[in-house]
Structure 1
Amino acid sequence: MHTAPTPAALAVVIRGQEALLVRRRNEPDAGLWGFPGGRIEWGETVFECAVRELSEETGIRSAARDYLTTIDVVRREEGQVKHHFVLTAVLCEYRSGVPEAADDAMETAWIELTDIANAIIPLSEHTASVVRLAMAFLQGPCGDSN
């Protein structure tokens, strides 16, 4: 039984008008679409974790660019905490690769940003709000793309 939250990183990769998502193989969120990510290892930075998890789950090479947000995900069953993750969403720059599902991902795809923002597919909690943050971040303060 855990007595502290599990720190984890999410890799948010935007390419043109699409974001890279994976469909989770394991609980929590099995069968739902979300950003590649996972637990931060001892001695690993959040940026290093995001880049590593992205590579392990999809084969995509990237560079971490900036922090987007931090999210608490607490799931309870019968009043008891079942899962508690503190997820840090990291904006990552796509470098190379063709996504192939591996590790915890059973499927991976480039999905239209508007489809994610409008939750057209079954998404993990917070995925739509994180993609909206990424879209705003990339627009910049004057509406110009960085």
Structure 2
Amino acid sequence: MTKNCGRLYPKYAIAAVGCVLVKNNSILLIKRGYAPRPGVWAVPGGAIEAGETIDEAAKRELEEETGIVAEPLGIIGVFNAITRDELGKVQYHYVIIDVLFDSNTIKGNLRAGGDAIDVAWIPLEEVIKRDDVTKTTKKLVEKILNKDLNYVPF
């Protein structure tokens, strides 16, 4: 199934957030339900809506896709997620601003929602070994495993 929302073959990159929540050496990931990369695990997230701040978008996406509410601390990283078709034309291009959340503020009940078809806490070491995790999520987890949790506070 494809959910486009005008994002297929964009003229410009789309600003999006990734929600980074780490607890007990595991990271909260969702299984994507729609293109790009349906069926693949990634951090929860999505496009920033017009008028939303980065932290507002991250809080909204985290709750929509996981049922979890937590407080954002700041920006931990920025990644490009570019998907090209068989002719090399850009199908999708997101600039993902990853937001680190405070694991001490977690509330709510874990459940998949929004664009997510599953949600789970996955051990950091396991994420690196899996073939069904996005490249940007693996890069993020490598950064976390290297104890590089520096972030720009809101």
Native 8 Å contact 1:23 1:31 kept in 2: yes
CA distance in 2, matches of 1:29, 1:2: 16
- The alignment's C-alpha RMSD in Å is 1.5
- What do residues 9-63 of structure 1 show as CA deviations (whole Å, max 9, x unaligned)? 0000011211100000000010000000000011111111111101000110111
CA distance in 2, matches of 1:59, 1:114: 24
Q: CA deviation at 1:114?
A: 1.1
Native 8 Å contact 1:91 1:134 kept in 2: no
Which one-letter code corresponds to 1:102 in the other structure?
G
Gapped regions of structure 2 (runs ≥ 5): 1-8
Q: CA deviation at 1:137?
A: 3.3
CA distance in 1, matches of 2:92, 2:130: 26
SS at match of 2:140: helix
Gapped regions of structure 1 (runs ≥ 5): 141-146
- Runs of at least 4 residues off by over 3 Å: none
The answer as to 2:89 corresponding to 1:80 is yes
Question: Which residue of 142, 145, 149 maps to 1:132?
Answer: 142
**TM value normalised by structure 1:** 0.88
CA distance in 2, matches of 1:34, 1:3: 24
Q: CA deviation at 1:121?
A: 5.1
**TM value normalised by structure 2:** 0.84
Pairs aligned (count) = 138
Question: Which residue of 102, 113, 136 maps to 2:113?
Answer: 102
CA distance in 2, matches of 1:97, 1:107: 16
